[in-house]
A and B are shown apart, each in its own frame.
Chain A
Amino acid sequence: MLFYSFFKTLVGKEVAVELKNDVVLTGTLHSVDQYLNVKLNNVQVVDKHKYPQLLALKNCFIRGSVVRYIQIPTGEVDTELLQDAARKENAPQKAS
Chain B
Amino acid sequence: MEEPLDLIRLSIDERIYVKCRNDRELRGKLHAYDQHLNMVLGDVEETVTTHEIDEETDEEIVKKATRTVGMLFVRGDVVVLVSPPLRTS
Contact = CB atoms under 8 A, between A and B. Distances in A.
- Give the interface residue-count category, chain B: 20 to 34
Interface string B54-81: 0000000000000001111111011000
B12 interface: yes
Contacts of A67: 75
Interface string A67-96: 111111110010100110111011010000
B6 A82 contact: no
Given A3-B34, A90-B34, A72 B40 contact: yes
Instruction: Tell me which of A64, A72, A73 has the highest count of chain B C-beta atoms within 10 A of its own C-beta.
Output: A72
Contacts of B35: 90
A69 B5 contact: no
A48 interface: no
A92 B4 CA distance: 12
B71 A6 contact: no
B74 A86 contact: no
B52 interface: no
A3 B32 contact: yes
A44 B38 CA distance: 25
A79 B12 contact: no
Interface of B: 2, 5-6, 8-9, 12-13, 20, 31-35, 38, 40, 42, 69-75, 77-78
Interface of A: 2-3, 6-7, 20, 36, 64-65, 67-74, 77, 79, 82-83, 85-87, 89-90, 92
16 contacts: A3-B32, A68-B20, A68-B78, A69-B74, A70-B72, A71-B73, A72-B71, A77-B31, A83-B31, A86-B31, A86-B32, A87-B9, A89-B32, A89-B34, A90-B34, A92-B2
